[in-house]
Amino acid sequence: MFPKPIEKSSRAWQLGYQALLPIVMLLWLAPLLAVALFSIRPDSDFLVGNYWGWPSSFEMIKNYSMVFGSAMPRYIMNSFLITIPTVIGAVALSCMTGFALGVYKFRGNLLIFFMFIAGNFVPFQILMVPVRDLTLDMGLYNTKTGLVLFHIAFQTGFCTLFMRNFIKALPYELIEAARVEGIAEWRIFWYVVLPLMKPAIAALSVLIFTFIWNDYFWAIVLTQGENAQPVTAGITSFNAQFRAMYHLMSAGSIIAALPPVLMFFLMQKHFIAGLTLGAVK
Amino acid sequence: MATTSQWNKTLAKKGWYKRNEIAVTPWLFLVPGLIMFAIYVVFPIFQSFRISLFKWDGLGPLATHGEYIGMANYEKLLTRDRSFNISLWNNLKWLIFYLASIPAGLFIALFLNQTVRGIRLYKSLFFFPFVISQIVVGLVFTWFYDPQFGLFNGIIGFVGFEPINVLGDPTLSTYGVIAAGLWPQTAYCMILYLTGLNSVDPEQIEAARLDGAKGIRMLWHVILPQLRPATFIAFVVTVIGSLRSFDLISIMTNGGPFGSSRVLSFYMFEKSLSEYGFKMGYGAAIAVILFLIMMVFIGYFLWRMYQDEKAEN
């Protein structure tokens, strides 16, 4: 292990390290903690300039219920209705493409694989005008469906990279054994490969959930107004509505950030596996 | 002999699909994904190239409402557009300073790579900034920099400096936004390195220790070579992330003050879809240039991956 395990150093070092950890962490998260502190202050604190002192009263419930009384729940709901179908769609499509590219040898295999990877890295702006036009032409502008369709298509690039590498690392003998038994190829996919992909599916789902939840660019390109916009875009109009009311803007930001954070803490193992498994072989 | 002919007969009976199953199946599995990807990613890239040759406001179909002007958009961009120049320079600043998240992430990973009690929680809390959306990061940092009540000015005031309005100063605004971007990006690099450190070969470390290596020398000669895959991924995601920067700029400065913190991705959006008018052709030309810049890096990544694939087979 590197650096040298702290247990092997002197008692003083160990205590020093243990004391340093929370301090460094507080510094690292200071900007966020400041917002959390803002979100429980009464608005009078901001008027008298009491930004950093002890709050004159704790208004957590009042501030947060103000947020829930606004359009915020709508935006959050939209975010869920956009994110969940995207996760299902992208994972389903990439299980199939990953299977095709990871199991079969055929001409063009690597070319298609690299096309998916390259597509996943292109700047959004090169797609913006045509995708917006296409969405308008299909009558899906300013709908959640329009956003979902695009997200599924785009995320398929990254998901395919991930799934293909995962499937390629599975023992190929399993598939050969199934073939010798005369099992149809689609059954091999369904009964042999898919059950083995559960960890990859979990990891990818958590990751895509976070990516899509946090998307802002496509939300403002393909939607406007509260009937379709997700919370990342909604928070800017929320902030315009409550301009300079920092206690409410802070509470709103915290609520908007919460679902992916919860997802991360609940599914931490999968999340980190997702970030690294597709990448670091 | 009899068995072969019988075998052939059963095969013939099985029909075309059964006989070509292995060749056909991958394509059946690829079709849905390929179609979606082609419609939403591959074709639009070519369409953008085409649109960039037109003067077009996007309000009617390109064929009837657009005016073909050849390379005029590019000519204007590259010779007469000061905003484009500023954006391009800012992209370069992003690219260079964003890379600081790689050593910073490594540093934090080394700091946290211990097995004391509660370390798992600390690791997740350090990773926190990457999980929240850039919009919230942007808001948090806008307040952090606020000249009136921001924590930043509180700190430099404590040390004895005059308050600075970082985001309101044309010479500083871009750096202020980049610093905000470094926060989640460092967290990302940290997690890549933490995972990488897990798979470092303990025997090599012991051997190096016996040879008297430690500290920086050990890191440089023994650890870093083994972390190369993690470094490569960190480099890929950081370069791509820096060229994609949009959300933070949009939230923190909206390109300002006086357009001083624009980058190409933001400038493109502004030209094609904002109150300054719908200059779709011009916007597409900016997008094409950004795309070509990114293609240099994407080409390099793909080439590296191709080498790995070849080595494996």
- CA B171 to chain A, closest CA, distance in angstroms equals 23
**Cross-chain Cβ contact B183/A31 below 8 Å:** yes
pLDDT at B1 over 50: no
Q: Are residues A18 and A33 in the same domain?
A: yes
Residue B186 has pLDDT above 90, yes or no: yes
Q: Which range of residues forms the domain containing residue A22?
A: 6-61
Query: What is the predicted pLDDT for the residue at A117?
Result: 92
Mean pLDDT of chain B: 88
Enter the tokens of residue B311.
Answer: 């080595």
For residue B295, give the 3-state DSSP assignment: helix
Query: Nearest CA to A89 among A152, A172, A3, A24?
Result: A152
The number of beta carbons lying within 10 Å of the beta carbon of residue B229 is 17
pLDDT at A281: 38
The whole-number average pLDDT for the span B269-282 is 83
Residue environment code for A212-251, b if the CB has 16+ CB neighbours within 10 A, otherwise e: bbbbbbbbbbbbeebebbbbbbbbbbbbeebeebbbbbbb
Please tell me whether residues A215 and A252 are part of one structural domain: yes
B27 has a pLDDT exceeding 80:
yes
Residues A224 and A96 in one domain: yes
Reduce the secondary structure of A185-224 to three states and give it as a string.
HHHHHHHHHHHHCHHHHHHHHHHHHHHHHCCCHHHHHHCC
Do B186 and B104 meet the contact criterion of CB atoms below 8 Å apart? yes
Q: Where are the domains of chain B?
A: 80-312
Q: What is the Rg, in whole angstroms, of the alpha carbon atoms belonging to chain B?
A: 27
Percent of chain B at pLDDT exceeding 70? 94
Q: What is the dihedral of CA A94, A100, A101, A106, to 10 degrees?
A: -160
CATH code of the domain in which A84 resides: 1.10.3720.10
| pLDDT at position B11 over 60 | no
Does residue A190 form part of some domain?
A: yes
What is the rounded end-to-end Cα distance, in angstroms, of chain A?
20
Whether residue A26 is found in the same domain as residue A83 = no
B73 contact A CB<8A: no
User: What gap in Å lies between CA A157 and CA B240, rounded to an integer?
Assistant: 15
On whether ipTM exceeds 0.90, the answer is no
Residues A134 and A262 placed together within one structural domain of the fold: yes
Does one domain contain both A19 and A85? no
Instruction: Tell which of A61, A91, A107 closes a domain.
Output: A61
Do B59 and B268 meet the contact criterion of CB atoms below 8 Å apart? no
Is the pLDDT at A278 greater than 70? The verdict is: no
State the Cα angle at B152 between B149 and B156, rounded to 5°. Answer: 105
A106 contacts in B (CB within 8 Å)?
23, 26
Does a structural domain hold residue A125? Answer: yes
- The stretches of chain B forming alpha helices (DSSP H) are 2-19, 21-37, 43-51, 62-65, 72-80, 82-98, 101-112, 119-131, 134-145, 151-159, 173-198, 202-210, 215-218, 224-226, 228-244, 247-252, 264-273, 280-312
A150-206 confidence digits (pLDDT tens): 999 999 999 999 899 889 888 889 899 998 988 888 999 999 999 999 888 988 998
DSSP type of residue B221: I
**Nearest-CA distance from B294 to chain A in Å?**
7
Residue A216, both tokens: 């802002």
Domain boundary among A14, A44, A61: A61
Specify if A94 maps to a domain: yes
Interchain contact, A214 vs B48, CB within 8 Å: no
Disruptive mutation site among A50, A111, A129 for chain B (greatest number of B CBs within 10 Å): A129
**Same domain flag for A158 and A23:** no
CA dihedral B141, B147, B149, B155 (to 10 degrees): 80
Q: Give the predicted TM-score (pTM) of the model.
A: 0.90
* CA B46 from centre of chain: 21
Same domain for A40 and A22: yes
The answer to the question of residue A1 being in a domain is no
What does the pLDDT read at residue A244? 72
Bridge partners (DSSP) listed for residue B138: none
Please give the Cα distance from A63 to A75 (Å, whole number). Answer: 18
Distance CA B37, CA B41 (A): 5
- Can you tell me the distance from the alpha carbon of A254 to that of B211, in angstroms, rounded to the nearest whole number? 51
The predicted-structure confidence for A18-61, as pLDDT tens digits, reads as follows 889 999 999 999 888 888 888 888 888 777 777 777 778 788 88
Residue B43 has pLDDT above 70, yes or no: yes
How many domains does chain A contain in total?
Answer: 2
Counting every residue written for chain B, the total comes to 313
Q: Is A144 among the domain residues?
A: yes
CATH number for region B80-312: 1.10.3720.10
Give the max Cα distance, chain A: 79
Residue A189 lies inside a defined structural domain of this protein: yes
pLDDT beyond 80 at B303: yes
Sequence-separated (6 or more) residues with CB below 8 Å from residue B34: A97, A112
Given a cut of 90, is residue B34 above it in pLDDT?
Answer: yes
Instruction: Give how far Cα A140 sits from Cα of A146, B38, B272, Å.
Output: 5, 18, 20
- Mean pLDDT, residues A78-88 taken together: 96
Q: Of A88, A91, A74, whose CA–CA distance to A278 is shortest?
A: A91
Q: Could you tell me if A176 and B49 are in contact, meaning their C-beta atoms sit under 8 angstroms apart?
A: no
pLDDT at A118 over 60: yes
Q: Tell me how close the Cα of A228 comes to any Cα of chain B, in angstroms.
A: 18
Q: How many CB pairs under 8 A join A and B?
A: 275
pLDDT of residue A47: 73
Mean pLDDT, residues B246-265: 90
Cβ within 8 Å of A, B 181-240: 183, 188, 191-192, 195-197, 200, 202, 205, 214, 218-219, 222-223, 229-230, 233, 240
Q: Categorize the per-residue pLDDT at B266 as very low, low, confident or very high, splitting at 50, 70 and 90.
A: very high
State which of A61, A80, A95 marks the end of a domain.
A61
Around Cβ B63, how many Cβ atoms within 10 Å? 7
Task: Please tell me whether residues A11 and A27 are part of one structural domain.
Answer: yes
